[in-house]
């Protein structure tokens, strides 16, 4: 059973929203593509685990702390008396290992050694388990999910699963004798409770309101939607049609991610949507979805009653 669904990280969400409304500097653009690719790889792996029996406990995206150090686990699977740690890599293209260093080819640029990352994770997890009073063996694996990945000169004994091996590996794992024990459930609950909400080391690019493009971005392509006709906005690029209400709520959510400390008012959302909606329409949607605070021109909207 999946006890912890996977979500886009805050950093990825932020970069995705920004990338539509501003030309990201090259460094941030690369970071965005890197995070996006990693996330797609994780979702791919989730799909592979989808038909595992309910007796397996799966925890995704655990951001934990042990010995004052943070660490993240892409996928943790509790099966029988073993903990499986999976670090999913969506690398594509040719790579090689030389003297325990990893390089991407053909330009031979050294990359971070993913094995070290995996080992660090395992060590910190082991310390945390000890602290929580659980004594289970941990088996860690790098999962290379992309069929277009090739690693040259890999030693035979590295704890990695390569694309052509994945089906076999998972089949074997799925057939290991397993029952859900109360101990395993308790461990899952404790790890979930220990999980940090936000990565304290999240990198946040610089941006300000004025430099961002106002309007309603299309939900399925990189274009912007055209003004309202008969209650709908349309995308000139991909043809998507969206109701005013859902488009406004989407824009409010984006605004909240980018400017969490600012107040949501009718005027700010009208401006944020680039004049695609009248004040009347925005006010109607906001007052239905959110709770109004204050009166008259000082009123603003919040998610919950203050």
**What are the residues binding Zn ion (CB under 5 A)?**
218, 221, 223, 235, 237-238, 240
Task: Give the residue with the Cβ less far from Zn ion, 15 or 233.
Answer: 233
Could you give phi then psi for residue 194, rounded to 5 degrees? -80, -10
CA dihedral sign, ordered 89, 95, 101, 107: negative
Q: What is the closest distance, in whole angstroms, from the C-beta atom of residue 7 to Zn ion in the complex?
A: 23
CA 212: distance to chain centroid? 23
- SS3 helix, strand, coil % of the chain, rounded to 5? 40, 25, 35
Task: Give the residue with the Cβ less far from Zn ion, 202 or 238.
Answer: 238
Task: Give the residue with the Cβ less far from Zn ion, 116 or 221.
Answer: 221
Query: 152-159 long-range CB contacts below 8 Å, 24 or more apart?
Result: 152/94, 152/95, 152/96, 152/97, 152/105, 153/96, 153/97, 153/98, 154/97, 155/97, 158/115, 159/115, 159/118
Q: Is the peptide bond before 165 cis (omega within 30 degrees of 0)?
A: no
Q: What is the closest distance, in whole angstroms, from the C-beta atom of residue 13 to Zn ion in the complex?
A: 19
Q: What is the closest distance, in whole angstroms, from the C-beta atom of residue 236 to Zn ion in the complex?
A: 8
Number of Cβ within a 10 Å radius of residue 285: 23
Q: What is the closest distance, in whole angstroms, from the C-beta atom of residue 200 to Zn ion in the complex?
A: 36
Q: What is the closest distance, in whole angstroms, from the C-beta atom of residue 25 to Zn ion in the complex?
A: 25
Task: Give the residue with the Cβ less far from Zn ion, 154 or 240.
Answer: 240
Task: Give the residue with the Cβ less far from Zn ion, 186 or 241.
Answer: 241
């Amino acid at each position: 059973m999946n006890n912890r669904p996977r979500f886009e990280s805050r950093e990825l969400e932020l970069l995705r929203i920004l990338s539509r409304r501003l030309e990201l500097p090259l460094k941030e653009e690369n970071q965005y593509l890197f995070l996006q690719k990693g996330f797609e790889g994780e979702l791919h792996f989730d799909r592979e685990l989808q038909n595992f029996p309910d007796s397996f406990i799966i925890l995704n995206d655990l951001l934990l702390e042990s010995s004052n150090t943070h660490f993240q686990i892409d996928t943790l699977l509790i099966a029988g008396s073993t903990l499986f740690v999976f670090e999913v890599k969506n690398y594509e293209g040719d790579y090689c290992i030389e003297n325990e260093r990893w390089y991407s080819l053909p330009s031979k640029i050294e990359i971070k050694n993913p094995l070290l990352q995996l080992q660090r994770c395992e060590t910190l997890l082991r310390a945390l388990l000890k602290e929580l009073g659980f004594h289970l063996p941990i088996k860690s694996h790098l999962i290379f999910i992309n069929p277009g990945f090739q690693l040259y000169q890999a030693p035979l004994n590295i704890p990695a699963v390569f694309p052509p091996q994945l089906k076999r590996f998972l089949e074997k794992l799925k057939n290991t004798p397993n029952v859900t024990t109360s101990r395993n459930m308790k461990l899952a609950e404790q790890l979930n409770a220990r999980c940090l909400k936000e990565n304290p080391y999240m990198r946040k690019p610089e941006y300000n309101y004025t430099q961002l493009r106002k309007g309603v971005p299309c939900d399925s392509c990189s274009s912007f939607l055209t003004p309202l006709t008969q209650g709908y906005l349309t995308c000139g690029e991909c043809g998507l049609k969206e109701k005013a209400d859902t488009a406004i709520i989407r824009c409010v959510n984006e605004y909240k991610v980018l400017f969490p400390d600012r107040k949501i008012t009718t005027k700010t959302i009208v401006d944020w949507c680039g004049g695609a909606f009248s004040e009347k329409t925005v006010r109607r949607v906001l007052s239905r979805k959110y709770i109004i605070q204050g009166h008259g021109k000082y009123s603003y909207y919040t998610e919950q009653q203050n």
